[in-house]
Structure 1
């Protein structure tokens, strides 16, 4: 694939050479006029300017968001490890909105085929359709994690794309969506029938209050995701006044960074996007851009601290089999000696090859304790229900 057809250099307003030598920008390969080579790269940043799926009043500010995010992110200090990160520049919009989705699908699919994780910055939230469609040719079922204060399940025939993109993901043909999680939705912004639909499909939506009660308990959900889509409207207006749908209530900046850290650590996760930042709504010192830049920093830092938790048949795991005395007769738990994280095994029809990646379900030690008490953990039940 000739990536030059899809990208323009970063904005000339960003003076990389003027940044301190310790800035993370100097440890990256950046398209400042010539597209860098992808050889031996781990992560590729894609700046998106597509905003036609949003309200007209937000479109201009969204289209400028990638540049402002870079301005903040580039100034941060390099973390640990030898970074192999490339910034491909600004993605060229298609003639129509759907053309942008298709182009992003092609580029993200190509990057993932070459074991390069795309980080999408900027654009309206419906752009994650292109991110999702990039998994179409991977011949496996995937899990999507969406962090948003709304469910975005409106009817595409009568709503803006930004309000209906999750609906389109659910209806997309071919269907390769195995599981869907949504974190930090706010009940007073969601119609009851939308929440009921999530439950009916055996998907999981977690209210903001539950997330804030104990964010560490939600780490297995993040660890289960192949794709993560982050709408910054899920953060409090105090931290992200430049979010398209900025509200008083939401995640704190620290909580958002912790979720990004978990996502970076997730060996399974292969793409992430940060959406719905309107530059014109931000403060003069670009507080929102700084928070998003820091979230990206934590994600990359987590990525370079991955433990390689993939091969469950290796000697890197302790296996515990709990007898249940009913159905199921027993449940196997796996604890990684490297990361000390837990998984449990859920049986499924072996001939259905698409489910092979989904039989090992991330869990907490508390799920193991639940099984020891003779109860089947909810995560096990929810997953098994998808097979029968």
Structure 2
């Protein structure tokens, strides 16, 4: 059993130290005396990836002291994953643990380690027979290394090329243009991937909601957060602490997200406090998840048909959540995937408004280009 790779948390994090309304009193815990908790009722479980320079005690102190919302589901702290003899050993363990939890219907949150563990989360779906959508919150695209713009061993290069290829769609959220070569942007455009520049997002965070709604995997590189908010050195620009918590909530509320990772965590108390609140917001979002099936439950949705020259674009609006979808350009989009609703593209109200004004939405065009 892959969960045996995990070490229990320190004994100082006991249930008796917290008020009944705090997370520390309700979390299922992996303790030295009790072993791994029963996961039959658990919906979200997190574990931390140990590194030589970082202890997760402060993270747990901050997280355990937070008060729960009006939540009615169980959360588990599975402890720490020690470093393997090699980096490959550690990445393999992450993959196996994530795969086991996903199969059991538990959403794993991986905390710590390098962003290349995103590839491990992706490979965790190999035996689940589904295509996956990946959202990466990162100021860079990570195709290269210090010497080369494109490196075949980078995790992004392996994501799009190594078999089995299960990647249906990739979205980057928060890229910063001065860290991106034009060749990388051209490649993303050629592959019909979705990218959102940092400046556009901070002006209107709602534009990331459709990408998150359609994601199976969410990977958050903490380098996407401005360094001053974590009292560390690094990127002077990036999401602020409130914005990255909103991003985490969008990930939690998506009914498709099955695994999440928070990587490149600085060894500061401010960073520990921030990721604790990000986990809290993910759980808060999960509490408000609603699965919707616009095509099947017609009574709960309003259908709009927009004719743009010789192109017909169909939109669906939920009367319950006010969320929008549109039918893609080809039925091939609804191929081998496990998404709900199947065969539709999440979109924004602005996409419908643009269509009414005679502009075909960019998301529709991407689906057309991808499968034509």
TM (normalized to structure 2)? 0.91
Q: Distance in 2 between matches of 1:175 and 1:156?
A: 26
Equivalent of 2:359 in 365, 375, 388: 375
1:101 maps to which residue?
91
Q: Distance in 2 between matches of 1:189 and 1:16?
A: 45
> In the alignment, is residue 217 of structure 1 matched against residue 200 of structure 2?
no
Could you report, residue by residue, the CA deviation over 1:271-313 in whole angstroms, capped at 9, with x for unpaired residues? 111010131xx2xxx1111111111100101101111224641
Could you say what secondary structure the match of 1:183 adopts? strand
Could you say what secondary structure the match of 2:235 adopts? coil
CA RMSD of aligned residues (A): 2.5
Per the TM alignment, residue 116 of structure 1 is displaced from its structure 2 partner at its CA by 0.8
Could you report, residue by residue, the CA deviation over 1:155-200 in whole angstroms, capped at 9, with x for unpaired residues? 5997999x93222222221111111111111111222222222122
Could you say what secondary structure the match of 2:227 adopts? coil
Retained in 1: the 8 A contact 2:330–2:367? no
Retained in 2: the 8 A contact 1:348–1:355? no
**Cα 1:340–1:21 shift into 2, 3 Å:** same
Retained in 2: the 8 A contact 1:152–1:166? yes
Equivalent of 2:265 in 270, 277, 289: 277
Retained in 2: the 8 A contact 1:31–1:88? yes
2:179 maps to which residue?
189
1:54 maps to which residue?
none
The alignment covers a number of residue pairs equal to: 367
Q: Distance in 2 between matches of 1:241 and 1:99?
A: 31
**Cα 1:7–1:311 shift into 2, 3 Å:** farther
2:307 maps to which residue?
324
Q: Which runs of 4+ in 1 moved over 6 A?
A: 156-161
Q: Distance in 2 between matches of 1:374 and 1:45?
A: 46
1:41 maps to which residue?
42
Gaps of 5+ in 2: none
Could you report, residue by residue, the CA deviation over 1:326-358 in whole angstroms, capped at 9, with x for unpaired residues? 443x22211123221111111434597315746
1:364 maps to which residue?
348
1:246 maps to which residue?
234
2:286 maps to which residue?
303
1:57 maps to which residue?
none
**Cα 1:116–1:371 shift into 2, 3 Å:** same
Q: Distance in 1 between matches of 2:171 and 2:218?
A: 10
Q: Distance in 1 between matches of 2:173 and 2:93?
A: 28
Could you say what secondary structure the match of 1:154 adopts? coil
Retained in 2: the 8 A contact 1:100–1:130? no
1:7 maps to which residue?
6
Equivalent of 1:126 in 116, 131, 138: 116
**Cα 1:96–1:363 shift into 2, 3 Å:** same
Gaps of 5+ in 1: 52-59
> In the alignment, is residue 340 of structure 1 matched against residue 322 of structure 2?
yes
TM (normalized to structure 1)? 0.87
**Cα 1:321–1:356 shift into 2, 3 Å:** farther
Retained in 2: the 8 A contact 1:66–1:121? no
**Cα 1:4–1:196 shift into 2, 3 Å:** closer
1:19 maps to which residue?
18
1:56 maps to which residue?
none
Q: Distance in 2 between matches of 1:384 and 1:68?
A: 48
Retained in 1: the 8 A contact 2:302–2:319? no
